[in-house]
Amino acid sequence: MADSTPKIQPATTGELDERKAAILNAVVAEHIDTAQPVGSNSVAANDAVKVSSATVRSEMVALEREGFLVQPHTSAGRIPTDKGYRFFVDHLGRGVLPQTQHSTLSNFFSHLRGEMEDVLTQTSQMLNEMSNYTSVIIAPSHASATVRSVQVVDLGPRRCVVVAILSDGEAVRRTLELPFEITPEQVNEASTQIASLLFGNTLEQRVEVPSRDTPVATLVREAIASLYRSTPTFEEDRVYIGGSAKVADTFDTVEAVRNVLGLLEKEIVVVNLLEDILQQGLSVAIGSEHGYEPLSTAAVVVAPVTVDGEVAGAVGLLGPTRMNYPEALATAEMVSQQLGQRLGDLIGDR
């Protein structure tokens, strides 16, 4: 048993002696596989554990005392705690993605075409199908992109739309209600004024706008103000979720499913969650390590997406605490790396 796809390789042990580590390893691995409490007998059957079940039992008592394992009830096997899982991912097996996955992956990326939105949507779907966990991708922020062009377009009576195009190819669009009619010439005039005012700046760097009171000046002021105004959807559009339906399968209780889905709906929270985890330098957040209540029965695997050496986004997998960490880690890392390359090509040098 426990022959899930990636081979688990023994690694150095930490604060636990080698035997305890081997036992913990065996417990975690089997529990991930079977979702059942693990007893001393099946642990003793593991090749890496070279002692009898009686010894295993006494070691398990110690592991329980130290907080790595819990017993759901007397006369049951044991289940890893969050701390147990943490030790597992820190010290024990790292997965190696089998060749087949590796090649389907590069095959996928070589056939991938289109705008960044499409690339990310498709990647998150693929990632979900590949890992069987819900996938989350955070796209690069537009915060550091600079304005390359601005245009105001007249849409009809007292209504126009202003579009700014950023150096990363993103278009920021705002509609404007004007208190007065305006001529095409004035619209053009405003367009060029705005463009020259904002060109080369990010939308975060606020630019001084002359406050005269002509129609054109008002339009310019209003348009720039609207571009500076951030809309709720702007940050949320960075989130791509693949396979939220999987949540219904991977988590056991309705409660957990509701919580996780509820959180996934709040996309800004998702962005923060992943960024928090990365900021802490983690690649896995287990149980309540990330401090997000609704995810206390979940684990999140994250890999940063680096473009031109800078962290630009993230790839995440979300599952129950007893998710297959070695495999999930390997998959997320692989995908984030490939995706980073791809995004690099897509954005080009700014």
Partner DNA sequence: CTTTGGCACTCGGTAGACTCGACTGCCAAA
Partner DNA sequence: TTTGGCAGTCGAGTCTACCGAGTGCCAAAG
For a copy of itself, the closer CB: 51 or 178: 178
Q: Tell me phi and psi for residue 124, to 5 degrees.
A: -65, -35
Closer residue to DNA, CB minimum distance, 29 or 224? 29
Piece of the chain touching DNA by CB under 7 A; list 38-46, 169-177, 231-239, 305-313: 38-46
Tokens coding 293:
């209540």
Judged by CB under 8 A, which of 1, 61, 76, 155 binds a copy of itself? Answer: 155
Asked whether position 60 contacts DNA by CB under 7 A, the answer is yes
What is the DSSP annotation of 158-204?
TEEEEEEEETTS-EEEEEEE-SS---HHHHHHHHHHHHHHHTT-BSS
Residues in binding contact with a copy of itself, number by CB under 8 A = 45
- Based on CB atoms, which residue is closest to a copy of itself, 84 or 316? 316
- Residue of 22, 29, 40, 122 interacting with DNA (CB under 7 A): 40
Please, which residues bridge with residue 173 across strands?
163
Which CB atom, from 19 or from 266, has the smaller least distance to DNA? 19
Q: Is 4 in the site for DNA (CB under 7 A)?
A: no
DSSP state of 117: H
Q: How far is CA 11 from CA 90, 94, 299, 329, in A?
A: 9, 8, 22, 16
Of 44 and 247, CB closest to a copy of itself? 247
Asked whether position 13 contacts DNA by CB under 7 A, the answer is no
Looking at 169, 215, 287, 344, which residue binds a copy of itself (CB under 8 A)? 169
How near is the Cβ of 259 to a copy of itself at its closest, in Å? 8
> Among the candidate windows 56-64, 97-105, 297-305, 309-317, which touches DNA by CB under 7 A?
56-64
| DSSP letter, residue 108 | H
Alpha-carbon distance of 178 to 167, in angstroms, equals: 28
CB atoms within 10 A of CB 19: 16
Instruction: Answer for the pair 335, 105: CB distance below 8 angstroms, yes or no.
Output: yes
Least spacing, CB of residue 103 vs DNA, in Å:
38
| From candidates 1, 11, 35, 61, binder to DNA by CB under 7 A | 61
Residue 277 CA: distances (Å) to CA of 85, 283, 284, 331: 17, 7, 8, 18
38 binds DNA (CB under 7 A): yes
Supply the minimum distance, in Å, between the C-beta of residue 281 and a copy of itself: 31
Contacting range for a copy of itself; rule: CB under 8 A; set: 69-77, 167-175, 306-314, 317-325: 167-175
Closer CB to a copy of itself, 64 or 170, in the complex: 170
- SS3 (DSSP) at 112: coil
CB atoms within 10 A of CB 118: 11
Q: 154 - beta bridge partners?
A: 160
Give the one residue of 175, 183, 201, 280 binding a copy of itself; rule: CB under 8 A. Answer: 175
Segment interacting with DNA (CB under 7 A) among 8-16, 46-54, 277-285, 337-345: 46-54
156 binds, among a copy of itself, DNA, none (CB under 5 to 8 A by kind): a copy of itself
| Residue 258 contacts a copy of itself per CB under 8 A | yes
Bridge-partner residues for 38, per DSSP? 78
Residue ranges of E strands in the chain: 7-8, 69-70, 79-80, 95-96, 134-138, 147-156, 159-166, 171-177, 239-242, 284-286, 298-307, 310-320
Using CB under 7 A as the binding rule, whether residue 33 contacts DNA is answered as no
Binding site for DNA (CB under 7 A): 19, 36-42, 51-55, 57-58, 60-61, 64, 71, 73-78
